[in-house]
């Protein structure tokens, strides 16, 4: 078996990005690894998604799209896609040729799997000493849980995130939206970029490890502080209480933040609650939280006179706030449109759709045009068999 040019020159139109010329092999599945590679693609990297014959499991997630998973499309933009069965010697040989030309390889296999497949870091660095090898795991490379499969909501529950959601004293609640996965994806992109920068000085690649456990705890760094001499079981809830939170309006809900004296005074003035601004029972964040019962009764009565959108317009820049919207509202939100965050794509099977275009803005090297996620094996023709 011979391979054509493993990474043919990218034909993406548009200016170069800061990572243009960087070649990435994405062997990962689900969200954390794949979206980390998408963030690299946003910055101009040439990403080749390598899937098994059954495809990335995210392709099988429930979706109202007839031809493809909405989740897969959203997570895997700006990549070419090929199918390789790494259990077959001939397909593994193709991957090895790709590795020789690659700058980065990302996978999310459990720690013992890469060695069985013949693609562990110490095996691949012999082929390509400059390779940045990024492994995304559930719990890390060592310890009693290292071989367990890791999933976003499992790690949310394990690390205390769910216990701090919802009402105080209520049951734990999941944060929907795969927040741990997406944060881990950001760490993948950041870690890989840092390793590429270091390689420019040393000429050597290295191993980059990202775990969902480490990501979930890093997200809670403000809570995860245990000072010497203090009891372990103390209050770690960062919510200020009182005014700050989501409140009902005449129609809909609005989030209000009034933690500074300036914002508190503006809130009282605009809602007509002038007496509260002069009441020393409410003149600090702690006092407003301690006297929330009386305070919220007055505030909710005032908010009930207008809709959430009306209050949002009235508060303007004077009170940090947002009317609660559906995610669908973001497709036509004027700020989203002004920033060009959402754009048009053409997908091989879905057809035209709108979705997120890129995550970071670069002034001098904005990067090439984003394109739709690949269908399974869409670019197999780039590999001769």
> What are phi and psi for residue 171, nearest 5 degrees?
-70, 160
Q: At what angle do helices 179-202 and 32-42 cross, to 10 degrees?
A: 50
- Residue 222 structure tokens: 């403000």
CB atoms within 10 A of CB 145: 14
Residue 181 falls in the annotated catalytic set: yes
Calpha distance 349→203 (Å, rounded) = 42
Classify residue 78 as exposed, middle or buried by CB count within 10 Å of its CB (0-12, 13-18, 19+). Answer: buried
CA 234 to each of CA 217, 224, 374: distance values in angstroms, whole numbers, following the listed order: 17, 11, 49
- Residue 324 structure tokens: 């609660």
Classify residue 4 as exposed, middle or buried by CB count within 10 Å of its CB (0-12, 13-18, 19+). Answer: exposed
CB 256 within 8 A of CB 264: no
* Active-site residue identified among 181, 251, 280, 344: 181
Closest of 90, 185, 101, 88 to residue 136, by C-alpha: 185
**What dihedral angle (degrees, nearest 10) is formed by the CA atoms of 206, 207, 208, 212?**
180
Calpha distance 46→197 (Å, rounded) = 17
Closest of 32, 3, 8 to residue 92, by C-alpha: 3
Tell me which DSSP letter residue 384 carries. -
Calpha distance 49→83 (Å, rounded) = 8
What residues act catalytically?
Answer: 181
């Amino acid at each position: 078996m011979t391979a054509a040019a493993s990474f043919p020159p990218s034909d993406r139109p548009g200016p170069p990005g800061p990572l243009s010329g960087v070649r990435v092999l994405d062997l990962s599945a689900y969200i954390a690894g794949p979206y980390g590679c998408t963030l690299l693609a946003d910055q101009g990297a040439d990403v080749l998604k390598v899937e098994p014959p059954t495809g990335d499991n995210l392709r099988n997630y429930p979706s109202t799209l007839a031809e493809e998973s909405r989740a897969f499309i959203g997570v895997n933009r700006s990549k070419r896609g090929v199918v390789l069965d790494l259990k077959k010697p001939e397909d593994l040989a193709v991957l090895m040729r790709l590795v020789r030309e690659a700058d980065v390889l990302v996978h999310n296999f459990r720690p013992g799997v890469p060695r069985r497949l013949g693609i562990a870091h110490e095996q691949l660095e012999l082929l390509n000493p400059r390779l940045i090898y990024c492994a995304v795991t559930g719990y890390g490379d060592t310890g009693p849980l290292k071989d367990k499969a890791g999933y976003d909501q499992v790690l949310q529950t394990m690390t205390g995130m769910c216990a701090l959601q919802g009402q105080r004293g209520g049951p734990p609640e999941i944060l929907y939206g795969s927040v741990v996965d997406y944060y881990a994806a950001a760490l993948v992109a950041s870690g890989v970029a840092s390793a590429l920068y270091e390689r420019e000085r040393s000429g050597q690649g290295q191993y980059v490890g990202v775990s969902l456990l480490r990501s979930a705890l890093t997200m809670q760094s403000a809570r995860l502080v245990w000072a010497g001499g203090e009891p372990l079981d103390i209050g770690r809830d960062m919510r200020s209480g009182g005014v700050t939170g989501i409140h009902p309006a005449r129609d809909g809900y609005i989030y209000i933040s009034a933690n500074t004296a300036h914002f508190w005074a503006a809130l009282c003035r605009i809602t007509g609650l002038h007496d509260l601004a002069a009441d020393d029972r409410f003149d600090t964040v702690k006092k407003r939280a301690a006297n929330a019962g009386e305070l919220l009764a007055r505030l909710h009565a005032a908010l009930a006179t207008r809709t959430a959108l009306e209050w949002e317009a009235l508060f303007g820049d004077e009170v940090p706030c947002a009317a609660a919207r559906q995610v669908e509202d973001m497709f036509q939100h004027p700020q989203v449109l002004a920033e060009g965050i959402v754009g048009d794509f053409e997908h091989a099977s879905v057809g035209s759709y709108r979705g997120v275009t890129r995550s970071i803005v670069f002034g001098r090297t904005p990067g090439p045009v984003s394109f739709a996620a690949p269908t399974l094996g869409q670019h197999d023709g780039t590999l001769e068999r």
